[in-house]
Structures are given as structure tokens and as C-alpha cells.
Amino acid sequence: MPKTSATEWLLARLTTPDRAAAILGDLEELSATRGRLWFWTTYARMLISLGWRTPVAFVLAIVGMRLFFSTILPCLTIHTRHHLSDPGLFGQENLRVSIFVWNVSLVTAQALCFVLPYVALRFGLRNRLTLLASGLFILAVPVYVFTPWVRDLSGILTTLAVIIALAAPLWRKPLTVIAGTILTAATVKILSVPILVGIYHRNFFMVPASKRSLLDVLAFAVATMVCVFLHRRLLQRRPAIA
């Protein structure tokens, strides 16, 4: 089959181009004796076998994000009002430093409540990308407790973890994938908000919740495509073809 065929192109989206060519070559050779019906049914099973993780991981990530903001987050912030006046580890004179490290943890936790479930199912629990996302999420989530010393400590540890990951060659590429995924989701959402506001001619928060949720789904859908692309380019090893 020609390398530019639609069947090979589609299969290459789910695996590497070399592996897609090898698989299709085998199927073509066997279909000469087993028939075209066997070829297409086997090809369809191959697509499902290689591609089921992506849509399932996406749905799981959306559900996980909704669960985090609707159930887990209210439990963490239940005592917020009792601790906001406490100066924390940095004291009132270093409030700007506190705010900076808080924001690092807040952004990390909010983004990873979607990214972590997705990469865990899509790439596996032992993948370096999943391990780094898990570590950052565990460090960042306590910032929502809002007990000042816990909040400051979470911000400090999350910031240090990001710096160390940038400095360590082993973790620099996984961090690049996570950062690219987060920035893509944020960019798509920021660029889409004016469009949604223009369609409904009202404040963004007055737009129906279902439409705002659709915007989140769109942003994360684009982000997951970028995540897969970056993972393939930076972290995935090319398999040897016999």
C-alpha cells in the first residue's frame, strides 16, 4: 500500500509511522489469502485496540476535574475564613512572596486535576510524565486548605519541584509536556471567551453554564492533542521494526 494512503495515515495517528507501515504491510499480505472483509475487520479491531485509551482517558479526566471542583475542593476550603488573617511562614512583610508561591500551587493544582487522570490512563502509571504530574499534584493540592503555614509550604515545595524538574535532564522533557498541555488549554480558553461573549452579548458569567462547560471541553480537547504530540516527540521511544 502507498505510504500516503488514508488507512496508514489514520493508523499512524495512533502509533508511530514505521509501526503503522509494518502493520498494514502484514495485513495486506495476509488479506491476499483471507479476503478484503478479513482485512477491514482486522484493521477496525486494530484501530480500537490502539486508540481506545485516548477517548476514555479524556472522559475520565473531565469527570475527575468536575469531581475535584464539586466535591474535593469544598472539603479542603471549609475552614478558609478562620485562617486568612494569619501571616503564615513569610510574615506580613513578605506577603508578595507568599502570593507568588500560592499562585504557583493554585495554577498547578487546577491544571493537573485534569492532566493527571488523562496522562495516567493514556500513558500508564509508570510513565515519567504520570509520575511527575502525580508528584506536582500532591505538593500543590494542600494550597487549598488555606491554613497559612500549609499554604506557604505547599507553594514553596511546588515551586522548588518545578525548578528541580527544569534543572534535571530526566524530568525536563516531562515538565515541558505538562507545561505545553496547560498553556494550550489556557490559550484556547482565553481566545474563545470573547467569541462566546460576542455570541450571547452578555458578561461571560451570564452565559449559560452548559456553554461555558463546552468551552472547557474544547480547550482540553485541543490540549490533549498537544499533549500526545509532545509526548510522542519528546518521550516516546521509537520501537525497533523486525
Rounded to the nearest 10 degrees, how much is the dihedral formed by the CA atoms of 38, 43, 46, 50? -170
How far is the C-alpha of 29 from the C-alpha of 23, rounded, in Å? 10
Q: Give which of 32, 30, 60, 57 is closest to 46, Cα–Cα.
A: 30
What is the pLDDT confidence band of residue 20, given thresholds at 50, 70 and 90? confident
How far is the C-alpha of 15 from the C-alpha of 6, rounded, in Å? 14
Instruction: Burial-class residue 73 by CB neighbours within 10 Å (0-12, 13-18, 19+).
Output: middle
The label of the residue with cell 509536556 reads 177
Q: Give which of 212, 220, 230, 227 is closest to 187, Cα–Cα.
A: 220
25-54 pLDDT per residue, tens: 888 888 888 888 888 998 888 888 888 888
102-114 pLDDT per residue, tens: 778 878 888 898 8
pLDDT given at position 75: 73
Single pTM value for the model: 0.76
Q: What is the domain partition of the chain in residue ranges?
A: 6-51, 53-234
Question: Is residue 3's pLDDT more than 50?
Answer: no
pLDDT given at position 18: 79
* C-alpha separations of 32 from 28, 45, 64, 187 in Å: 7, 19, 46, 49
